[in-house]
Amino acid sequence: MLNATIEPMVRMETSRASAGWVRFALAGRERFGTLIGETIAIHSGDMFAGARPTGERVPLAEVTLLAPSTPSKIIALWNNFHALAGKLAMPVPAEPLYLMKAPSSAAPPGFTVVRPPSYGGKVVYEGELGIVVGRNCSRVSPEAAGEFIFGYTCVNDITALDLIAADPTFAQWVRAKSFDGFGPFGPVVATGLDPRGLTVRTLLNGQERQNYPIADMIFQPHELVSRLSHDMTLLPGDLICCGTSLGVGTIKEPVSKIEVTIEGIGTLANTFVQGG
């Protein structure tokens, strides 16, 4: 799993009702805890089952943030927003359309993503809501699915766009989305949060490129988890990227900063560099 030193400030904007869980490295050890302002309350045990506060606290500025979970799989939705489906003249799907990103693509907030030397085409950002699974989940109903959702996070589903249709005999979705660093998420997993009234906002070099409501999702989180759990067993820490909407664009500058903000979760900020 990739890691990086946190930028000078991570804007949390976390609601009072929610808790923001983080994973971090401190003195050579991987730890986890809840973020309270600019301080982390360290916990022990298992983040997803019986986490216990140790009573220790550490300033956020003194740690290296990691991706907030270590997913066994990353599932990414396609065509899951009415607005984007309308713009692309795509029919509303009868069931979730998805692909898999390699778990090794995961990256933490603050990480610098470098263009892979094997690819010279367009690279695009995709700001998204992410669902983090908290319990083994298989064949659950939509009504029960909330019990298996640990919380929500911000995702930038970076994509090597020109690879997808480069070979007319085989669409290369997985390769296009699985380069190292192409799956930043974080900065926290927010629990106790209902995301349906929230928006996803993406900035590229300080300019707003996306601002869309999560309520426009075709398959909302509980139904999404239910349907996916009938295809495969979801495990604690697994990440479901809910898909994106209008405003996806190409990363063109030699060095670009991409920020994905969801109120109640915070801001995921990463830098993309065109050459190593």
Tokens standing for residue 45: 């045990």
Q: Which of 172, 158, 153 is nearest to 69 (CA)?
A: 153
pLDDT band at 275 (very low <50, low <70, confident <90, very high): confident
Answer yes or no: is pLDDT of 106 > 90: yes
- The model's pLDDT over 83-93, given as tens digits with 9 standing for 90+, comes to 999 999 999 99
Phi, psi of 66, deg, nearest 5: -105, 170
pLDDT band at 9 (very low <50, low <70, confident <90, very high): very low
Q: What is the pLDDT of residue 222?
A: 97
Answer yes or no: is pLDDT of 5 > 80: no
Domains of the chain in sequence order: 69-273 (3.90.850.10)
CB neighbour class for 221 (10 Å; exposed up to 12, middle 13-18, buried from 19): buried
